[in-house]
Amino acid sequence: MINVTCARLLASLLVAGLVVGVAVSAPTAAQAAPSPVVPIVIVGQPTPIAGVNQGLPPLTPTQDYDAGLGLAGVITAYHDSGRYQSDQRAVAKAAQKFLRSWLRDECESPRRCDGRKPAAVFDIDDTLVDWYATYLSTGFVAVPSVMDNAAENCLTPAIVAVRKVLHDAQRRGVSVFLISGRPAPARAVTVACLNQLDIANWDGLILRDPAQYTLTAEQYKSAARAGIERRGYTIITSVGDQLSDMTGGHVVQGFRLPNPMYYIA
């Protein structure tokens, strides 16, 4: 079980967001067309990032935000229109296409990756598993007890489109690492849920140790990727729902999934 302290830390690390502006006049879920996957330009960042254009406020705030009840109607309309899921699939497809292209260009005979070990990095929350229903139940505000229950009972279903990218990478011989802002004491609960959701056989799961709790998400995650690189891997792509999942370098290309519920700096 996750104790109360860990639950509160998990909630604070998972939730704190910035709502995005989205069109709410989309057709039904079955008909919703995805937004185009376009470059996201952040001055001073070394990593190319691609994602859907959600009309975000400034992409470099220093504080975390959650959406809250005031914007619940916009978020639920985006989700219920089917556009949220279509945008997730579009970004996942772009990531998969890039991964395959990189492997073809860099690793096929006679180059054979030039001795490099290809790797892919995935965030967990709202990347591989979906917290939408949990946030909806709290009015898009972090409630530690609710987050605790959702984590312990694996109430966060898999985001199938991203799980497919992970499985495809594994089939192609790419090493897969999961880097999450969840605290280290949540490891057992996290692994059990991932296994239940057929998100398994990864090469590493990196969670925050207590000494890292004061780091920003960008500092923590870029350092984790640097550690993977020091082991001889080339990280082809990092897939996540926050810019901090891919800013700070140590990855060839980042792919940012939509997340209208919160922002983590």
Please report, for residues 86, 135, 210, the alpha-carbon distance to residue 35 in angstroms, rounded to integers and kept in the order given. 8, 23, 39
Joined together, the tokens standing for residue 75 give 């978020």
Burial of 201 (0-12, 13-18, 19+ CB in 10 A): exposed
Mean pLDDT computed over every residue of the chain: 86
Which residue is associated with the tokens 């969670």?
A: 207
Diameter of the chain measured on Cα atoms: 57
DSSP 209: -
Each residue's pLDDT tens digit, 44-86: 888 999 999 765 555 566 788 888 898 899 899 999 999 999 9
b/e map 153-173, b = 16+ CB within 10 Å: ebbbebbebbbebbebbbeee
> What is the model's pLDDT at position 177?
98
Joined together, the tokens standing for residue 197 give 């959701």
> What is the model's pLDDT at position 46?
87
Name every residue whose Cβ is closer than 8 Å to that of residue 180 and which is 6 or more positions away in sequence: 123, 124, 125, 190, 205, 206, 207, 208
Which residue is associated with the tokens 């550690």?
A: 227
CATH code for the domain in which residue 133 is found:
3.40.50.1000
**What does the angle CA 160 – CA 166 – CA 170 come to, to the nearest 5 degrees?**
140
Q: What's the domain count of the chain?
A: 1
> What is the model's pLDDT at position 58?
52
The Cα–Cα gap between 72 and 66 comes to: 11
The Cα–Cα gap between 71 and 97 comes to: 34
Q: Please give the backbone phi and psi of residue 235, each rounded to the nearest 5 degrees, phi first.
A: -85, 110
The Cα–Cα gap between 204 and 143 comes to: 29
Nearest to 118 by CA among 108, 103, 104: 103
Q: Please give the backbone phi and psi of residue 42, each rounded to the nearest 5 degrees, phi first.
A: -125, 115
CB atoms within 10 A of CB 240: 30
Nearest to 87 by CA among 263, 265, 255, 264: 255
Each residue's pLDDT tens digit, 172-225: 999 999 999 999 999 999 999 999 999 999 999 999 999 999 999 999 999 999
Each residue's pLDDT tens digit, 95-146: 999 999 999 999 886 667 878 899 999 999 999 999 999 999 999 998 999 9
Provide the domain limits for residue 179: 4-263
Nearest to 224 by CA among 241, 249, 189: 249
